[in-house]
Amino acid sequence: MTDLCDENHPKYEKYIPRINKITGQLNGIKRMIEDQRYCTDIISQLKAVSSACQSLEIIMLEKHLEKCVMDTFKSNDANGQAKKIKELTKLYIK
């Protein structure tokens, strides 16, 4: 069986501005380091980037569960269902 989500991935284009913002924040942190800014100022910005990445990760996971995982479970394909469970488990073990 082919993965149901292979042919119909959720649309993520609307999250590109978030990625651009994170990229801008990372570039700002790089400049802060080059300018030898105060450690806690840099750490504060790193925490902001980490939080932004975590928020995006949660959105991506939610969309994956809503579309890819739900489609697989609706298909009643036991092998596909087991694959999705293993896929997510493996992802969070890393």
Provide the 3-class DSSP secondary structure of residue 10: coil
Single pTM value for the model:
0.81
pLDDT tens digits along 28-52: 999 999 999 999 999 999 999 999 9
pLDDT tens digits along 6-16: 567 788 899 99
State mean pLDDT over 14-30. 98
**28 contacts 45 by C-beta, under 8 angstroms:** yes
Domains in the chain, please, with CATH? 12-93 (1.20.58.1000)
